[in-house]
Amino acid sequence: MISENILDIKGRIARAALRAKRDAAGITIVAVSKGRSTQEIRQALEAGITDIGENRIQEAATKLNELRIQRELRTHMIGHLQTNKAKEAVQLFDLIQSVDSLRLAQSISRHAENLGKVQEALIEVKTSPEVTKFGLLPEEALKIIPEIAKLKNISIKGLMTIAPIVDNPEKTRSYFKLLKEVFDKINKLPNMDYGLSILSMGMTDDFEIAIEEGSTMIRLGRGIFA
Ligand SMILES: *Cc1c(COP(=O)(O)O)cnc(C)c1O
């Protein structure tokens, strides 16, 4: 059951935080609801979930607009975003986690300005070369973020990464360590007028390792809904 899954996950988060001597209150759960019905999402919201992640604009539009009428929720875009869908993403999401180019950031900022919004976003970083096509390499992220920081209607809050699928979750640790290093480096750049606070890393199979390495936001699909 979804409510039991969530209870179990909260216990595991608390234990991982304790091991890392961190406060579990600093870790946000994003329930990844791609492919799930609004009825399932409602159950998660009733069990205390506040943040919902989707990876496709069309599917998200249908479901989130229906859910928003009834409840308050924070919405996250976690899938690859094409520049020509930036306007819809700005309309739909509180946090766009998958910004991976200056061009996309510029487009988001422009649409956000038209809508009278400052769009919060994360930069997607490719910490492992084989995992996905998307995301900036760490050195590219370091170069581009000061440029994005100059745009008025997009506010970069942190970094996101997807670790590769491995047989043993322990093998994901180095990717999370790398993202934390990039995060710390960016926060030390001169000419950055805002600090990053969100490290979105960790999914169903590896969230405990991610928490030990400093994650502040975990994205869970199967762990909640399966
Ligand atoms: C699907 C997805 C998740 C959730 O994956 P699970 O392994 O089901 O927890 C998290 N992040 C992204 C970017 C995803 O696409």
Largest CA distance in the chain: 48
Mean pLDDT across 193-217: 95
Question: Would the CB of 214 count as within 6 Å of ligand 1?
Answer: no
Q: What is the per-residue pLDDT for 193?
A: 67
In this structure, which amino acid lies at residue 91?
Q
Q: Tokens for 205, please give them.
A: 């199979």
Average pLDDT, the chain: 95
Considering only 126-130, 149-153, 167-171, which range has the smallest mean pLDDT?
126-130
Q: Is 203 touching ligand 1 by the criterion CB < 6 Å?
A: yes
- The number of beta carbons lying within 10 Å of the beta carbon of residue 51 is 19
Q: Are 178 and 127 in contact (CB under 8 A)?
A: yes
Residue nearest ligand 1's atom 10 by CA = 219
Beta-carbon contacts of 213 under 8 Å, excluding residues fewer than 6 positions away, are 20, 173, 176, 177, 179, 180, 201
Question: How much is the CA Rg of the chain, to the nearest whole Å?
Answer: 17
Q: Rounded to whole angstroms, how far apart are CA atoms 168 and 178?
A: 18
Ligand 1 pocket test target in 56, 203, 209 with most atoms within 8 Å of CB: 203
pLDDT at 190: 80
Looking at residue 189, what is its pLDDT? Answer: 85
114 CA distance to ligand 1 middle (Å)? 31
What is the Å distance from ligand 1's center to 24 Cα? 21
Nearest ligand 1 atom to alpha carbon 204 = 9
The answer to which of 21-25, 87-91, 96-100, 128-132 has the lowest mean pLDDT is 128-132
Helix axes 138-148, 102-114, angle to 10 degrees: 30
129 by Cβ neighbours in 10 Å (0-12 / 13-18 / 19+) ranks as: exposed
pTM of the model: 0.97
What's 128's DSSP letter?
Answer: S
Confidence category of residue 71, pLDDT binned at 50, 70, 90: confident
Position in ligand 1 atom list of the atom nearest CA 203: 9
Give the per-residue pLDDT at 131.
65
